[in-house]
Amino acid sequence: MTTVRCPNCGKEVPWTPDQKWRPFCCERCKLIDLGAWADESHRIPGDPVDPWEQANSEGPPDKPN
């Protein structure tokens, strides 16, 4: 059986269809990881983007004919 380590706590987790929280070992570890993305502790590297500037520079979306 294939196992992976929980990204949060490091516990071994079986990689099977019935493992509800994979790759996490439990809901708690899954929610801790989600919270880290929500508060931007985890982030994908790149140049910062101002959402307001980006929205105003793109113009209106194209309409299909």
pLDDT at position 20, please? 93
Q: What is the pTM of this model?
A: 0.64
pLDDT at position 36, please? 94
pLDDT at position 11, please? 96
Please give the Cα distance from 16 to 38 (Å, whole number).
Answer: 27
- For 3-43, CATH gives 3.30.50.10
Per-residue pLDDT at 65 exceeds 60: no
pLDDT at position 60, please? 56
Query: What would the 3-class secondary structure string for the chain be?
Result: CCEEECCCCCCEEECCCCCCCCCCCCHHHHHHHHHHHHCCCCCCCCCCCCHHHHHHHCCCCCCCC
Q: What is the pLDDT of residues 17-60, one digit of tens each?
A: 999 999 999 999 999 999 999 998 888 888 887 878 766 665 55
